[in-house]
Structure 1
């Protein structure tokens, strides 16, 4: 309880963000889900400085998610790491508070956008897919 007797609300944890992301992935239509078994999901507080520098982003709150890897259909090279989706908790929470968008909808938006890169989807295609899996 807080000093004024109200329940103390804690921000969603990494585990909660991961759970919402996995729920979003589970709502994807089967043709997409069947190509995600090798994609690794990470939830981190922020992108590291190297990633921000490579992307030309000065503010660590400016990046909510990142896809790394070869899109589906591109030949795999020896030594390739598995494709990854990184979600950055603190920027996501800031965007959630600033926009008022429900957290599950925000996480779904970012997950679909990052997974869209895995499939080489256009922004329009990502929006259609997001509309299909909205919570």
Structure 2
């Protein structure tokens, strides 16, 4: 799958989020990057399919709106393409990853996402 098709898969996954849920998303931007670069102190072989960075809606208080930068969701192209063997698998994995990271924006933990089958 080329870069343009991958980007389209991410956009389709975002568009598939029900309107009542996407309407509740607040100050979050979604990006696509080639690969995750481990932070200082992280194992150099760390592989992520997606990453949520920000303050979940469940943790925001009145202080949060005072000049806070947008939350950031990044979907990583290379690792998804590495683990998938077909276009259909890529589309499925992109969808799962987008839902997983958006769930973090709503304050849902990894443990709960795994219980729900979105791990």
Q: Could you say whether these structures have the same fold, taking a TM-score greater than 0.5 normalized by the shorter chain as the test?
A: yes
Name the CA distance, whole Å, in 1 between partners of 2:5 and 2:26.
21
The answer (yes or no) to whether the contact 1:112–1:126 under 8 Å persists in 2 is no
Alignment CA distance shift 1:79-1:37 (3 Å)? closer
The runs of 5 or more residues in structure 1 that have no matched partner are 1-10, 131-135
Alignment of 1:1-135 (within 5 A): 11-13=1-3, 15-36=4-25, 38-48=27-37, 52-54=38-40, 56-59=42-45, 62-73=47-58, 74-75=60-61, 76-97=64-85, 102-122=89-109, 123-124=111-112, 128=116
Structure of higher CA gyration radius: 1
Deviates more, 1:113-122 or 1:74-83: 74-83
The answer (yes or no) to whether the contact 2:100–2:113 under 8 Å persists in 1 is no
SS in 2 for 1:53: coil
SS in 1 for 2:39: helix
| Offset at residue 36 of structure 1 (A) | 2.9
Question: Would you say how many aligned residue pairs link Structure 1 and Structure 2?
Answer: 114
Q: Which structure 1 residue ranges, 4+ long, deviate > 3 Å from structure 2?
A: 122-130
Q: Deviations over 1:54-77 (max 9, x none)?
A: 5724225x1111011111141225
Q: Deviations over 1:92-111 (max 9, x none)?
A: 111213x9961110001111
Name the CA distance, whole Å, in 1 between partners of 2:117 and 2:45.
29
Give the helix-richer structure, 1 or 2: 1
